[in-house]
Structure 1
Amino acid sequence: MANYEITVIPGDGIGPEVVDSALQVLGEAQKQFGFTLDYATYDFSAELYRRTGRKITAADMDEIGKSDAVLFGAMGLPDVRDEEGLELGAQVQMRAHYKLFASLRPVKLFEGVPNAVRAEKIDMLVIRETSEGMFAGLHDKHEPSDEEATDRMTITRATCETLFAEAFDQARARRKRGTPGRVTLLHKSNALRSNVLMEKVFDEVAAKNTDVESSKYYIDAGSMYMVTDPGRFDVIVSENIFGDITSEIAAGLVGGLGVAPSADVSRTHGVFQPSHGSAPDIAGTGKANPTAMILSAAMMLEWLGEKREDAVLVDAASSINAAVEKVLATGPRSADLGGSASTDEVTDAVLSALRSAATLPAGA
């Protein structure tokens, strides 16, 4: 029986609630598939910072980095800011510390989920670069001023090459599952020097991966196409801020952030969390949709399974995804998807679907 060490960071707001849902589903998957996840839980929440001034440190991240993966809830409270006026979020520090160069944000239009656009099928992966772009200067020296503030955008060849190689690899893997296997760069090379370099490197990487179709759009036109013709996209790759915005547009196409998982990854480390925030306004009310967190947990199993060549984890991830898809199609659904089910009711339905699938005869 394979054992894996998992770091759990519940965070703020609805983070602990949806993490609890994911852990319940992972627990059922462990029973069914015969693997073990050993958890170590850490508190680096904004609420902790409010009370104690404690933030995540390099030593903390060195220790956490020894685990096989990180399961992350949601972090940040609007009224809790650091000394520079920014919201607290250990995700940013972890991206830099572990060199998590890509945020993988898949979206899929599930049966039964209302959406805001005219499209029968939406199935795309937005890859957001996470360490450079408009986040490159986060640790630059900053002189507080009420008259002027500057943020730096930096793009490097090395990160682009790694990022785009990941995009083409993801397209190949998705093609095996029935998507077109196409990579699209969204950029702004007509106005930003940094994006001129990004486009140049993309063209070079595309020329080495001619088995995968590629295309490019300016970020403004590409964002419009996402809404008017989402079917033209499979894998989208973009700069940090552009990728952050377009991944939220993509989530809006398929019912919202409540069904949008994500993973921040490098070749060796992975942090898995829902795309949504901490939603402190509904914390403790039982209204949180746990779907994105559960799907993020499934992404963690799939990533670990592929990295460790453990087919059991990949199968478990597929089973969780199928259970979620069944519940989204038949209900119960949470309020953000037009229903009235509580967090616990949605979680229980996923658990029931997971158990039902395990009792079906082979080939059923």
Structure 2
Amino acid sequence: MTVGRPYRLGVMPGDGIGPEIVPAAVRVVDAALIAAGAQPPEWRELPLGGSAIEHHGSAIPATTLDALAAMDGWLLGPHDSAAYPEPHRSALNPSGTIRKHFDLYANIRPARAFEGGRALAPDTDLVIVRENTEGFYADRNTFAGTGEYMPTPDVAICMGVFTRPAIERIARTAFELARRRRHKVTIVHKANVLQLTSGLFKRVCLEVAEGYPDVEVDDFHIDAMTVHLLRRAADFDVLVAENMFGDILSDMAGELAGSLGIAPSINASDDRCMAQAAHGSAPDIAGRGLANPIAMMLSAGMLLDWLGTRHGNPRAADAAGRLEAGVRAAVRGGVATRDLGGSASTDAFTDAVVAQVSRG
């Protein structure tokens, strides 16, 4: 990737509110890159989700995966896999398939409250770094099939898998991120009970910490961590956790910051990155112009920041900053969707953000 060539970005609107919030994010990315003096991306829309089942016989066609491999990054809208017909409903969902196919091992989920929003903890400004390939989620723990099975109709068993290489790389991701923030990492685990599995996670993270003497480190059991987040979210900077613990904590942190509608994330490996809002497809409000596009917009901004860091592209990094600043300025100025206490439609809020970003 050179600074002069426009990025090639895949875009997958998905299901439910996806076809409303993903185009909103595309508009804001275009505006932010132009404001930063860069060319807007070359977008390529790819089939995924319910419409892909209807037209291609798969929620995530092989042609989509092949096309993604040639892209610089991707925007993935929410999917409603619970509503898919069988056998698609029981298969690994589209986002899980993409994460597994490209080994997107780091799920990075910031939670930062908005001035003018509805935060339960207005001082929240933290990032949860979630290991994305193993842990206690059974659909990521075997080469074929899943790590969940029933030897009898009345007994269900689930495997949790923890490996040193996977823990080492997610820990390094957390510590490198902390160096760009406030130089503090909190390890979340349950080593007092799960001494071998969660114990290995804690021990390896502490070993990695020895290579980052400039970063402060502490650790908490997952149950205690939920209490600490409720009582003093502002004290935390970067949290690193296995898959399920990180998923639970990030939803909680999103609500503390104001709403799951503002909760962004990226799924990344060393050379791939996918922007994906942390929330679901919200089929109950789909097509009504009520959806909050902030999480998708901020996820796209995280993708720009990742691209700028990976490729040494200051314009992409600048665009990422402009995008987030524009979103925050819109909310601070009183423009917000219903879930944040406002009355703006999805399109009206997007118009306000584009205006803020373009104004610079």
Could you state the TM-score of these two structures normalised by the residue count of structure 1?
Answer: 0.91
Report the Cα distance in structure 1 between the residues aligned to 2:211 and 2:176, rounded to whole angstroms.
12
Does the alignment pair 1:151 with 2:154?
no
Instruction: For 1:11 and 1:162, locate their aligned partners in 2 and report how far apart those are by CA, in whole Å.
Output: 30
Matched, 1:79 2:83: yes
Deviates more, 1:31-40 or 1:19-28: 31-40
Q: CA deviation at 1:59?
A: 5.8
Report the Cα distance in structure 2 between the residues aligned to 1:347 and 1:201, rounded to whole angstroms.
Answer: 43
The more displaced of 79-88 and 148-157 is: 79-88
Other structure's SS at 1:106 match: strand
Deviation at 1:42, TM superposition (A): 1.0
Matched residue, 1:116: 120
Displacement of 1:50: 5.9
Deviation sequence 1:190-247 (CA, Å, 0-9, x none)? 1112111111101111122111001100000011101111122100010101100000
Residue identity matched to 2:290: K
1:125 is matched with 127
Would the aligned equivalents of 2:52 and 2:60 in 1 still touch at CA under 8 Å?
no
Distance in 2, matches of 1:305 and 1:65, equals 19
Corresponding residue number in structure 2 for 1:102: 106
Which digits, 9 at most, give the CA deviation of each residue in 1:244-286, with x for residues without a partner? Answer: 0000010010111111110000110001011111101100010
Matches within 5 A, 1:76-225: 76-80=80-84, 82-83=86-87, 86=90, 89-117=93-121, 120-135=122-137, 136-137=140-141, 139-140=145-146, 146-174=153-181, 180-192=182-194, 193-225=196-228
Q: Distance in 2 between matches of 1:206 and 1:141?
A: 30
State the alpha-carbon separation in 1 of the partners of residues 16 and 153 from structure 2: 31
Q: Which moved more, 1:259-268 or 1:21-30?
A: 21-30
- In the alignment, is residue 318 of structure 1 matched against residue 325 of structure 2? no
Deviation readout 1:15-57 (Å, 9 max, x if unpaired): 1100111111122224332323111111110343367641325
Question: What letter is aligned with 2:100?
Answer: A
List alignment gaps of at least 5 residues for structure 2. Answer: none
The match for 1:177 is none
Correspondent of 1:36 among 26, 34, 40: 40
Count residues in correspondence.
350
Q: Which residue of 1 aligns with 2:268?
A: 265
Whether the aligned pair in 1 keeps the contact of 2:11 and 2:44 (CA below 8 Å) is yes
TM-score, normalised by the number of residues in structure 2:
0.92
2:103 counterpart letter in structure 1: K
Contact kept, 8 Å, 2:59 with 2:88, in 1: the verdict is: no
Alignment partners' CA distance in 1, 2:32 and 2:359: 12
Instruction: Look up the match of 2:49.
Output: 45
CA 1:246 to 1:352, structure 2 compared with 1: closer, same or farther past 3 Å? same
* SS of residue in 2 equivalent to 1:317: helix
Match of 1:278 in 2: 281
* Structure 1 position 107, deviation (Å): 1.0
SS at match of 1:287: coil
Report Cα offsets for 1:51-90 as digits up to 9, x if no partner.
Answer: 7641325564243122100111111243325548547631
User: Alignment partner of 1:78: what SS?
Assistant: helix
Where do 5+ consecutive residues of structure 1 fail to align? 175-179, 358-364
Q: Could you say what secondary structure the match of 1:103 adopts?
A: strand
Quote the offset at 1:116 in angstroms: 2.1
Query: Using the alignment, how far apart are the partners of 1:62 and 1:30 within structure 2?
Result: 26
Q: How far, CA to CA, are the matches of 1:257 and 1:86 in structure 2?
A: 26
> 2:33–2:316: 8 Å Cα contact kept in structure 1?
no
**C-alpha separation in 2, matches of 1:224 and 1:84:** 38
**8 Å contact from structure 1 (residues 103, 127) kept in 2:** yes
Q: Supply the RMSD in Å over aligned alpha carbons.
A: 1.9
User: Structure 1 278/84 Cα, relative in aligned 2: closer, same or farther at 3 Å?
Assistant: closer
Q: Which amino acid aligns with 2:105?
A: F
Q: What code does the residue aligned with 2:120 have? A: A
